[in-house]
Amino acid sequence: MSELRGLQPTLLWSFFDDIRRIPRPSGKEEKVADYLVNFAKQEGLEHKKDDAGNVLIRQPGTPGHEDAQPVVLQAHMDMVCEKNSDKEFDFDNDEIQVLVEDEWVTADGTTLGADNGIGVAAILAVMSDKKCEHGPIEGLFTVDEERGLVGATSISTDWLKGRTLINVDSEDIGIFSIGCAGGSDTHVTLPVKRTDPKGDTVVQIHLSGLRGGHSGIDIHEGRGNALKILNRLLYQLSKNYPVELMSINGGDKHNAIPREAIAKVVMPGNNIKPAEEWLNHALASIREEFHPVEKNIALKVEQINDPAANVLDKQSQRNVIALTFAFPHGPLEMSRTIKDLVETSNNVASIKCNDNEVKFHLSSRSSNDTALQATLDKFEAISAIVGANVHQPPGYPGWMPNLDSNVLQVALDTYKKVTGEDATYEAIHAGLECGLIGEKFEGMDMISIGPTLKHPHSPDEKVHINSVQVFYNHLVKMLEVLA
């Protein structure tokens, strides 16, 4: 029997144990959607599934609360699929391997999927909990949240009856989210030309060991971006040695800070040793610079036996490195109204190098629509300098805080009753589906709560066991009061 099934609350952890066994990358949630539909059928509950794959399950109120106003409980089905480079794992087919370590549940070399599997499990637990008193519940389970809130975008405006929504996708116990940033992506395609190399030896430069993390929640910490650091090293290296760039690649998910990056270059064989010594010396300075937040930056320089292939010509190489340098990463502006809140940021999320083009993916966030647009315009202007093409698909809206919210007051009062402690609230620099849902359903009163979750979107993701119990007890109490 899985260790998870011995944890409290038993119902919630049992459902999470089921969910972690179901592959559910963004855009491939069919199996977990089927699991939810089967749950509804077994419980005899009204349910529906739309063309996008979103699932809605309706449960009547418990005796005496049948006529209460419905409450929407909302979570997303998909998970960010990240793993350590030395971990053999197929996210399309393999079960997440969980580890219980002291007060935490984590995974073995991959993301855990507690974001937002714990939220999905909590909703199912409430619907199965015979001790829970509640009014009518609408369990809304969305797809493809992690790639840009895709599922929430497609929800039909006649789907929900309730006008009180509890999103269960927050990541600090006792700290409720009442607002979030909007966001948008920028896809940059830079045409490149190739030529025969002058050097005779292929060298691979692999930067790794960075923490990565969530490009919204963790962006203020100043964690290193592997692409930006590796590009910086290449820029400086090329000033001292004849370096011909074959490729630079790294990053994957738009909302994950890149943890590692690889460049392949061609050099004269007699330059490899001094270039490696130079790189190690330069990296020592970078390690010192990032030491407060990055303890394990590693660099591996190795000769590749493959014959030297076509390299970028001088102008293309100059453009790739310059463009990577020019695109900013990290906080761009701090909020002028909410202390210590990042207003606008950008994540240089990935670079993919092909034969005739290099593709950049940038992910920007802001709680200020005009600042977000200015950021997107900046990237368009920077790209134009080197003749790169830009595509900026529609983004998603932010969620403006409402301090007069009834569900916020209920959350604060019930948390005090459950724990004896005062809760707090904040707006966050991350995207939540509340922004889109609130835009679709006028008058929706919303809050986001959750247990303590650390390092989402990275293989270090972990959830605090005791906080899950507190989170569930609090959710149950809120539903009782709202009934």
> pLDDT tens digit string along 291-306?
999 999 999 999 998 8
How much is the pLDDT for 407?
98
Is the pLDDT higher at 329 or at 402?
329
Domain boundaries, the chain: 3-181+398-482, 184-391
**From CA 455, how far away is CA 258, in angstroms rounded?**
13
The answer to whether the pTM exceeds 0.85 is no
Mean pLDDT of 258-286: 95
Q: 85: pLDDT confidence band, cut at 50, 70 and 90?
A: confident
Quick one: fold of 184-391? Alpha-Beta Plaits (3.30.70)
Give yes or no for residue 400 having a pLDDT over 90. no
Give yes or no for residue 169 having a pLDDT over 80. yes
Instruction: Residue 400: name the closest of 73, 174, 181 by CA.
Output: 181
Tokens coding 149:
């809130």
Mean pLDDT of 337-363: 94
Share the mean pLDDT of the chain.
95
What CATH superfamily is the domain 3-181+398-482?
Answer: Zn peptidases (3.40.630.10)
Q: At what angle do helices 465-482 and 114-128 cross, to 10 degrees?
A: 50
> pLDDT tens digit string along 445-479?
999 999 999 998 889 999 999 999 999 999 999 99
Q: 307: pLDDT confidence band, cut at 50, 70 and 90?
A: confident
Give yes or no for residue 369 having a pLDDT over 90. no
Phi, psi angles (nearest 5°) of residue 243 = -110, 125
**From CA 164, how far away is CA 176, in angstroms rounded?**
15
How much is the pLDDT for 132?
96
Active site residues: 78, 145
Are the CB atoms for 259 and 210 separated by under 8 Å? yes
Percent of the chain with pLDDT over 90: 87
Give yes or no for residue 49 having a pLDDT over 70. yes
Instruction: Residue 145: name the closest of 253, 224, 226 by CA.
Output: 253
How much is the pLDDT for 291?
95
How much is the pLDDT for 231?
98
How much is the pLDDT for 309?
82
Mean pLDDT of 210-234: 95
Give yes or no for residue 414 having a pLDDT over 90. yes
Give yes or no for residue 409 having a pLDDT over 70. yes
Mean pLDDT of 424-447: 92
Phi, psi angles (nearest 5°) of residue 454 = -115, 145
Give yes or no for residue 1 having a pLDDT over 70. no
> pLDDT tens digit string along 202-221?
999 999 999 998 899 899 99
> pLDDT tens digit string along 90-122?
999 999 999 999 999 999 999 999 999 999 999
